[in-house]
Amino acid sequence: MHLTVWTYEGPPHIGAMRVATAMRDVHYVLHAPQGDTYADLLFTMIERRGERPPVTYTTFQARDLGGDTADLFQRAAHEAFERFKPAAMLVGASCTGELIQDDPAGLARALGLPIPVIPLELPSYQRKENWGAAETFYQLVRHLASPHAPKPGAPRPPRPAGRPASCNILGPTALGFRHRDDVRAVTELLDELGVVINVVAPWQAAAADLARLGEADFNVVLYPEIAGQAAQWLKRQFGQPMVATVPIGVGATRDFIVEVARLAEVDASLALADSASRLPWYSRSVDSTYLTRKRVFIFGDATHAIAAGRIASEELGFTVVGLGSYSRERARDMREAAARYGLEALITDDYLEVEAACAALQPELVLGTQMERHIAKRLGIPCAVISAPVHVQDFPARYSPQMGFEGANVIFDSWVHPLMMGLEEHLLGMFRDDFEFHDGAGASHLGHGATTPPAAPVPEAAAAAPAADRPILLSWAAEAELELKKIPFFVRGKARRNTETFAGERGINPITVETLYDAKAHFGR
């Protein structure tokens, strides 16, 4: 048994729901107990969908367990077919359904429905959401595209001269972090290169579209966690090469363009010269100088975390001090990526481990999921969200892709913004004792008469760090403590840690203002 409060990923049937909900005419019949319908609200509330997800649950109860749950499943499947008239049906079980061993595959087959019925085996006690999405997409692709596959070993016929190259975009799902806008951003890139898009899947695809996947010349895999397995299969069956570069960041987008241009046999120079990305200039402008070597901690799914590492170090001039992911399936890729920054990748799905790593490193910026946002808040460190799981505010109304040149603009703004806020907050804190800024003075935008109750003291980063990290015998002279408070709160934790390490190593006690500055000189910055 594994004790947890927070999980980065849901169970695998949630992944299957994400694929089914992304598509247009696929229905999922899920053998699940009453209560598992909670998952609907992820789609209707977090993603704000205006339709219910295309999922029928058997919602069996204790009184059904006597032996007619199989009948219940068949009835649910039959009624779902009659009511929704899907073009293909997925059938499977959630974690409890798996335990009662009713065999949805066999039961559905016995119904003899006149549509493809695709059974899903999703081992809930071993695997998780992204695996479930990948497996579901793979099974859909395999069942629906197989009949159109050429004979094994038959060479792929060359593309007729004069016909533009075409590709599929694979991987975007419902409840994906910025999938909606990434599809648009990548579509625009491909349009610019003159590449025709054959099918986007599973996002808004029909079952019939999946049958046509083999007609494209190559595949663009946007999210390897979800589409990697299906793309491998398409490569084997149809000889379709795949674009493996994920175009998140200016550099990665340029690499992506070069790779697509090579496969499509088109000229990339126009697309590469695209000035849509303001990131390079913004990053060079002198205002960004203060970003240099900011220490950044990155955690998320493998695709986004790896991409964020590259942007942070190559495009914003940060120093990556921690890199990790909850995607165990891609642990090897993560370790390779981390090694580029001289780091050991943190592969875990335990948020307490992530919190401990973050607290120990005292970065100046955290890039992560919803969870890291809360960890960073507790530690008083600025943070931006780069990966699922995310909450409702990260399904924004405005266009905000992560991919392509516009994605790079969005990333620049969303990562730099919390740092600016941190700086602003520090300035306000510094001037707190100033007559215009004392606690009793209201915010200026509320007018002169307004007063607010004294604010609670700003929680210090160091106070939230585990006490065990600090040598017990060290004490701070009052004057040194005051001096420490003049340091911006978002780097104060690091300063405290460095100073105490410095003092501890040299046997200095108590810590004075001198020690503080000696340590500063020793460590730099």
Partner 1 sequence: MNALAPLAAVQGCDERPVLRERGQREVFCGLTGIMWLHRKIQDAFFLIVGSRTCAHLMQSAAGVMIFAEPRFATAIIEEKDLAGLADANAELDAVVARLLARRPEIRLLFLVGSCPSEVIKLDLSRAAQRLSQRFTPQVRVLNYSGSGIETTFTQGEDACLAALVPTLAERPSGAARQLLVAGVLADAVEDQFRRLFAAMGIAEIGFLPARRAGAMPEIGPDTLYLLAQPFLTETARALERRGATRLPAPFPLGIEGTTAWLRAAAEAFAICPARFEAAITPGRERARRALDHSRGSLAGRRVFFFPDSQLEIPIARFLSREMGMELVEVGTPYLHRDHLAADLAMLPAGIQLSEGQDVDRQLGRCIAAAPDLTVCGLGLANPLEALGLTTKWAIELVFTPIQGFEQAGDLAELFARPLIRRAALEV
Q: Which residues bind partner 1 (CB under 8 A)?
A: 1-7, 9-11, 13-14, 33-42, 44-45, 48-52, 56-62, 64-65, 76, 79, 83, 94-96, 99-100, 123-126, 128, 374, 378, 391
Nearest residue (CB) to partner 1, 35 versus 164? 35
Task: Report, in Å, the least distance between residue 385 CB and partner 1.
Answer: 14
Q: How far is the CB of 387 from partner 1 (least distance, A)?
A: 16
What pairs with residue 55 in β-bridges? 28
264-291 burial: b if 16+ Cβ within 10 Å, else e = bebebeebeeeebbbbeebbeeeeeeeb
Q: Where are the alpha helices (DSSP H) in 203-249?
A: 207-211, 224-238
DSSP state of 194: T
Min dist. Cβ of residue 71 to partner 1 (A): 12
Name residues whose C-beta falls within 8 Å of residue 348's C-beta, 6 or more positions apart in sequence.
324, 326, 354
Q: Name the strand (E) or helix (H) holding 181.
A: helix 179-192
71, 191, 287, 439: the catalytic one is 287
Cβ closest to partner 1, residue 99 vs residue 421? 99
- For residues 343 and 464, which CB has a smaller minimum distance to partner 1 in the complex? 464
* CB of residue 63 to partner 1, shortest distance in Å: 8
Q: Smallest distance from the beta carbon of 105 to partner 1, in angstroms?
A: 20
Task: Return d(Cα 296, Cα 315) in angstroms, integer.
Answer: 13
Strands (E), 39-109: 55-57, 88-93
State which residue, 126 or 275, has the beta carbon closest to partner 1. 126
> Which whole-number Å values give the CA distances from 108 to 55, 64, 90, 91, 95, in the listed order?
15, 19, 10, 7, 19
Task: Please say which residue, 37 or 204, places its beta carbon nearer to partner 1.
Answer: 37
Residue 493, phi then psi, degrees to nearest 5: -60, -45
DSSP string across 109-120? HHHT-SS-EEE-
Q: Is 349 a catalytic residue?
A: no
Residue positions annotated with a catalytic role: 287
